[in-house]
Amino acid sequence: MDKGRGRPSQSDIARELGISISTVSRALANEPGISSQVRDEVIKLARSIGYKSKHAAPVIRTGRAVALLPLGSAASAMSSFYVGIAEGMKATADSLGLSIDVKLVNEERVTLEIIERHLKQADARAVLLAGIDAWDELIDWCEQNNICAVLANGIDPQMRISSVSPCNFYGAYLATRTLLAAGHRKILHYTHNLRPTILERRRGFEAAIAETEGAHGIVVSTSDCSTSTLADNIMNDVYGVTALFSWNDVAAVEILEGLHGGGRPLPKGFSIVGFDDLPIAAMSTPRLSTVSVDREAIGHGAVRLLVQHMQGNARVQQLQIGLTFVEGGTIHPR
């Protein structure tokens, strides 16, 4: 293509792709009768050469996508988290004319074959992966097959695939700073397997501890200690801490109930903070102090990014959703 000539035209796109100008025009206008593959190729090339189309609207109209949600989380106390994400996806997709098929999958056994099968069944070339981390083969497969993909509540540290996630680092930083502001200097962080998102929460905790003189942090993983054992250890002052920041609300509430149900008085001024602001946090006694995640905003942002990719914008983007602190009754001053 001769980029030295004037403004790019539809004829440039047609010549480059070996199709008619009429097909280019219909693809840009999102008219029926054009395959999704041809439409994707036209839009992608148009964007890459800087062609300005009068049809450049953010509406897909005839597009289809598949959203894969983790079955384990959907069937557990974390279900409300992914229900919120799914609702955000559906609402935004409806407003853009994008049809989304939501499927539950075992997040620990997701394979390329499973993803490909769901896409074929839905006649889609775009996928939203909620709570499912990217891996090398997935990235290569998406590139080779021109599949648009976005992670929802996930992040790819190598920046090969777009993602939308809570601002985990600064959310954890905020939670830890709140405990520090209450006078706590020995704080335990209870963490889970190190998905990139959860690792960011640990890093936020460690950053807040590191910048506070006299503060000491201890990290305990779910792989080393159950919530019931952790509650017993806290009651027996095994760690010598006065506060706990949990990686999520479910674990925090389990620990809270273990402490209150032990038949022994809590260590004076002991404080607990969770993360996510799930409904279970509001039902605990006392109400769990936590960090609130706007789940619907994650779904909204994921669909918006996916639509951009379906329209030819191949730039990898990482969108983080801001968080807020929810005051409860589980923080006590020292």
- The answer to whether the beta carbons of residues 85 and 296 sit under 8 Å apart is yes
Residues found in the chain: 334
Q: What pLDDT digit, counting tens, does each position of 8-40 carry?
A: 888 999 999 999 988 988 888 766 677 767 877
pLDDT in tens, 138-190: 999 999 998 999 999 999 999 999 999 999 999 999 999 999 999 999 999 99
Q: pLDDT grade, residue 72 (50/70/90)?
A: low
Which domains occur in the chain, in start order? 10-49 (no CATH), 168-293 (3.40.50.2300)
**Residue spans of alpha helices (H) in 66-156:** 71-74, 79-96, 112-122, 136-144
Six-digit token string for 250: 């479910």
Choice between 293 and 34, residue whose per-residue pLDDT is larger: 293
Q: Where are the alpha helices (DSSP H) in 104-248?
A: 112-122, 136-144, 168-181, 196-210, 227-235
CB 326 within 8 A of CB 290: yes
